[in-house]
Chain A
Amino acid sequence: MNLALHAPILAIAVPLLGGFALPLWAKFGRPLRDLWLLLVSAATASLVGLVAFQVYTGGIQVYTLGAAWPTDTLAPGGFPIRIVLAVDALGALVGLIATLAALVGFAYAARYLAEEEGKTLALTLGTLLWAGMLGMAFTGDLFNLFVFFEVTSIAACGLIGYRTWTSRGPEAAFKTMVLYTVGGLFVLLAIALLYGEYGALNLAHLARLLRGSTVDRVTLALLLGGLLMKVGAVPVHMWAPDAYGEAPAQGVILLVANTQVSLYALFRILFTLYGGLADPGIGWLVVAMGTLTLLVASLMAVVQMDLGRLIAFGAVSQIGYMLLGVGVGLTVLASRPAYGLLALQGGIFHMLNDALAIGLLFLAVGAVEKAAGGRNLGALGGLGHDLKWTAAFFFLGALALAGIPPLNGFASKLMIYQGSFLLSPILSALAILASILLLAVFVRAFQGAFLGPRMLQPEPVPSSMLLAMGALALGVLVLGLFPDLVVRHVVAPAADALWTGREVYLRAVFGR
């Protein structure tokens, strides 16, 4: 079997089947389960790495399911009715982000989760969520996008609410599930409308058929609304702080990766499916949503007293920066000035930076909760005396997220500021204002939790948790110190996939 050719589908199938097999192995013994998880994770990570390497060196990789040969995308007679996976540079980057989150989460979970508190369950759901995210990132077919959307929804809500002995976890999960399901049904209705009009589900084929009729616009509104619910942009963000606040820390980092993957799906639809319409109004809508998100979420973060919820609102505000950057790119897509590409690169670079920095913060909060037994800022204090490494990681993540040089958040936010300034100075002023607010919030949180006299005797943080946080912290530092290198080799191809890559994507799927 040609592994390189089949890598995209294997990268989805291995964690999906491996995840379901995990509880079976747990019946035979915990060491066997851990060994199996290690094997599945290593195999999936190498497969995703292989796909990403092929995409970055050789261009878009297309895989057809149910054909005699994986490259036969068209059925006999030239009809694009087969189910395809199409991975371009942006899809590969998002797949890498999901893989990074999963690996760090599993390493952290090894000592963070207690065996008697459903560890097997949490690991299974994490693996399934990972599989769903990879599916969303790699699919080239609208209906499969919906299916993987629902796979991630179910796995994510399971992760939020599986601790049924608490009352807050299931409540957050119920709330999240309502919004995820409504979002999913909006997406399904949009797919049904598109199918009724054009009789196609293949993303590339639909992109060629779309004419910009009224039905197309209604469909776009439904897709936009459904995916924004999943992303957690401001008018429909109600689930995000609850979910991030109540899920266990190793699940939160996967949830954060899941919002990035949903953002990717949104960008894929806006640029590839609807890129031919080139209507600046849609771009302005995305810009407005982004600005609203980053402002409202950072204002809401100011008043939080729970450390977890405070960081959660910080996470929601970062979604606003990504929407702003990419929205600026979308607004000027038709005329293609240089600053549009800059803002787009900034938005995509920020997806990577946010996964690292906010992941680091949530893991640090989880460590604080485990060590000190609580997260209320009123009761915490002086933890920095004993938890030196955790305090340092929290500080690093907070500064990176607030956009302080020389950390990674600064590099991407600067690109977003520059790009949006050239579109409208008010946008970048608001974005900078939100960053300053976030800095104030994080400094208050750091001061409240880690500084001051020693108030309680925390337990030491296990070394595997510190190791997982250290890996993310290293990423934050390296991306901050060498942003040019990362932008040129990793982010620029991904941004080009949206900026000019529409025709390339369509040709790759059609083979002509």
Chain B
Amino acid sequence: MIGNVPFVVCMVLVLLGLAALLFRRNLIKVVIGLKIIENGVNLYLVATGYVQGGVVPIWTYAPPDAAMVLPTPQALTLTSIVIGLATTALMLAFAVVIHRHKGSLDGRKVVELSG
């Protein structure tokens, strides 16, 4: 019915997040950009497993000969969300430490290193 629209939306989210990474200098906004990319990818994963009119993939609860959505992408997405939580928490912790030292979150002002 809606065709490839979910996939297109996911890619738009990924590109939006990348744009935030490239053009935003506030460290918190960088983290938000990363989160948007991650959500785009997670949505994409879930969308690949969707079956039109499918039911929850629990064998014992499903009515006989019902179509189920794919369980694997859901498991992958769950794992990826947990990993995303860990990376976000770590990055925000670093942002807090940087703010404590420099009194600013502006990426242009806090830089001491230049790789």
Contacts and interface: CB of A to CB of B under 8 A. Distances in A.
A241 B112 CA distance: 13
A147 B79 contact: yes
A181 B87 contact: yes
Interface in B5-62: 14, 18, 21, 27, 30, 34, 37-38, 41, 44-45, 48
Interface string A228-243: 0000000001111110
Interface string A160-196: 0100100110111111011001101100110110011
A158 B34 CA distance: 18
Nearest to B88: A181
Contacts of B48: 192, 195-196
B1 interface: no
A239 B115 CA distance: 6
Contact of B44 (A147, A192, A201): A192
B67 interface: no
Contact of B90 (A147, A154, A185, A237): A154
A164 B72 CA distance: 39
Nearest to B37: A185
A168 B70 CA distance: 46
Contacts of B70: 199
A171 B87 contact: no
Contacts of B79: 143, 147
Chain A contact residues, majority secondary structure: helix
B115 A237 contact: yes
Contact of A171 (B72, B73, B112): B112
Contacts of B66: none
A170 B98 CA distance: 7
B111 interface: yes
Contact of A174 (B27, B37, B45): B27
B113 A188 contact: no
Chain B contact residues, majority secondary structure: helix
Contacts of A170: 94, 97-98, 101
Interface string A183-216: 0110011011001100101000000000000000
Please tell me the size bucket of the interface on B: 20 to 34
A153 B90 CA distance: 11
B113 A171 contact: yes
Contacts of B68: none
B115 A178 contact: no
B86 interface: yes
B84 to A, nearest CB: 8
Interface string B73-115: 1001001100100110011001101100110000000111101
Given A147-B79, A170-B97, A237-B115, A189 B30 contact: no
Nearest to A191: B76
Pick the most buried of B21, B34, B113: most chain A CB atoms within 10 A of its CB: B113
Pick the most buried of A182, A191, A240: most chain B CB atoms within 10 A of its CB: A182
Given A182-B34, A185-B37, A195-B45, A174 B113 contact: no
Interface string A58-83: 00000000000000000000000000
A185 B38 contact: yes
B76 A143 contact: yes
B113 A195 contact: no
A139 B74 CA distance: 21
Contacts of A188: 41, 45, 80
A150 interface: yes
Nearest to B27: A174
A174 B115 contact: no
A216 B72 CA distance: 21
Given A174-B27, A178-B34, A189-B44, A167 B91 contact: no
Nearest to B35: A181
A241 B83 contact: no
Contacts of A361: none
B87 A154 contact: yes
Contacts of A191: 76
A191 to B, nearest CB: 8
A168 B112 contact: yes
A88 B30 CA distance: 39
B113 A192 contact: no
Nearest to A188: B41
A158 B93 CA distance: 10
Given A150-B83, A185-B37, A171 B98 contact: yes
Contacts of B18: 182
Pick the most buried of B91, B112, B115: most chain A CB atoms within 10 A of its CB: B115
Contacts of A240: 115
A138 B110 CA distance: 40
Contacts of A181: 34, 38, 87, 91
A168 B112 CA distance: 7
Contacts of A85: none
Given A174-B27, A178-B21, A241-B113, 14 more contacts: A150-B83, A154-B87, A157-B94, A158-B90, A167-B102, A178-B34, A181-B34, A181-B91, A185-B14, A185-B34, A195-B48, A201-B72, A240-B115, A242-B115
9 contacts: A146-B80, A161-B97, A170-B101, A174-B98, A181-B87, A185-B38, A189-B44, A195-B73, A195-B76
Which 5 pairs of residues, A with B, have the shortest CB-CB distance?
A: A167-B101, A238-B115, A196-B48, A170-B97, A174-B94
